[in-house]
């Protein structure tokens, strides 16, 4: 079934540790995104990539980095996790950065930083 | 900067009744898209309906319809004949039609459906 796969589903992480959240899509979408969801704040864009080889900063990029070495994968790395990064993280993709193509979401990763 | 506001943190509706969720947005752009997403307890984000700003006709998808008031920058979601499965968090979202492509979400409305 075509879609977006995120891993892990959930994770408890000690503060200061490094963590990479994985995101893979098999729809050959050009644009990919990382959001974090926090109660009362909705979803906020962390980083995005319009096409393989390019990335951009969203609303809340500090403490996170991304890479887009190929079309399918868009990992999100927390270099040194802090408790404020406790959140649910969603990866999403679209066929193209512009136009009417809808946004597809993964099922999210629940991350707890202790 | 574009913003999306959902002023109703929680709403409740009786099964088979109709409920309207409010959303307002702020933008200086003329070309943009608006969306409603549903997030049930499973955490999955599901696209409910979308509206292109250049279209005057309100979008409809089965029991879901929108009231798009471009001048007032309002984009409300009406759910008719509410069902227990409609219980979820609903997010309104805005996307600029140009090169920036960022999707901006509201803070969500938690809808409860009473049997």
Q: What is the pLDDT of residue B98?
A: 66
Q: What are the φ and ψ backbone dihedral angles of B59, each rounded to 5 degrees? A: -75, 145
- pLDDT score recorded for residue B89: 97
Which percentage of chain A shows pLDDT scores above 90? 83
pLDDT digits (tens, 9 = 90+) for B63-96: 999 999 999 999 999 999 999 999 999 999 998 7
Section A3-7 average pLDDT: 96
Interface test with A, best of B2, B96, B101 (most A CBs within 10 A): B101
Amino acid A101: pLDDT: 78
Name the residue with higher pLDDT: A95 or B14. B14
pLDDT score at A63: 97
Question: Cβ contact (<8 Å) for A58 and B108?
Answer: no
Give the position of tokens 């980095």: A65
In B46-105, the residues whose Cβ lies within 8 Å of chain A are 47, 50, 52, 91, 93, 97-99, 101-105
Which residue among A42, A97, A102 places its CB closest to the CB of B107?
Answer: A42
Residues of A in contact with B108 (CB under 8 A): 42
Residue with tokens 């960022």: B102
What are B4's two structure tokens? 């999306």
Contact B45 A105 (CB under 8 A): yes
> Binning pLDDT at 50, 70 and 90, where does residue B101 land?
low
Q: What is the mean pLDDT of the segment spanning A24-42?
A: 93
pLDDT higher than 90, residue A40: no
Q: Which of A43, A94, A107 sits opposite B44 (nearest CB)?
A: A107
Q: Does A105 touch chain B (CB under 8 A)?
A: yes
- Residue A78 contacts residue A87 (beta carbons within 8 Å): no
Give the start-end residues of each E strand in B42-108. Answer: 46-52, 60-61, 64-69, 74-79, 88-96, 103-105
Yes or no, beta carbons of A107 and B107 under 8 Å apart = no
For residue A19, what pLDDT band results from cuts at 50, 70 and 90? very high
A-B Cβ pairs (cutoff 8 Å, strict): 52
pLDDT class of B103 with cuts at 50, 70, 90? confident
A56 pairs with which residues across the strands? A48
Does A98 contact B104 at a Cβ distance shorter than 8 Å?
A: no
Average pLDDT over residues A3-31: 96
Q: What is the pLDDT of residues B21-66, one digit of tens each?
A: 999 999 988 888 999 999 999 999 999 999 999 888 999 999 999 9
């Amino acid at each position: 079934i075509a879609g977006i796969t995120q891993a892990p589903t959930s994770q408890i992480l000690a503060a200061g540790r490094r963590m990479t959240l994985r995101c893979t899509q098999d729809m050959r979408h050009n644009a990919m995104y990382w959001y974090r969801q926090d109660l009362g704040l909705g979803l906020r864009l962390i980083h995005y990539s319009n096409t393989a080889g390019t990335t951009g900063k969203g609303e809340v990029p500090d403490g996170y980095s991304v890479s887009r070495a190929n079309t399918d994968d868009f990992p999100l790395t927390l270099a040194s996790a802090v408790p404020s990064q406790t959140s649910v993280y969603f990866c999403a993709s679209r066929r193209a950065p512009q136009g009417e193509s809808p946004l597809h979401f993964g099922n999210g990763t629940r991350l707890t930083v202790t | 900067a574009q913003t999306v506001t959902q002023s109703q943190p929680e709403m409740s509706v009786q099964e088979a009744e109709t409920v309207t969720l409010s959303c307002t947005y702020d933008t200086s752009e003329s070309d943009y898209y608006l969306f409603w997403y549903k997030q049930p307890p499973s955490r999955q984000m599901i696209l409910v309906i979308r509206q292109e700003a250049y279209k005057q006709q309100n979008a409809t998808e089965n029991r879901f319809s929108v009231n798009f008031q471009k001048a007032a920058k309002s984009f409300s979601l009406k759910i008719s004949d509410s069902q227990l499965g409609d219980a979820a968090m609903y997010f309104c979202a805005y996307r600029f039609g140009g090169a920036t492509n960022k999707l901006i979400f509201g803070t969500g409305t938690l809808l409860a459906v009473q049997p």
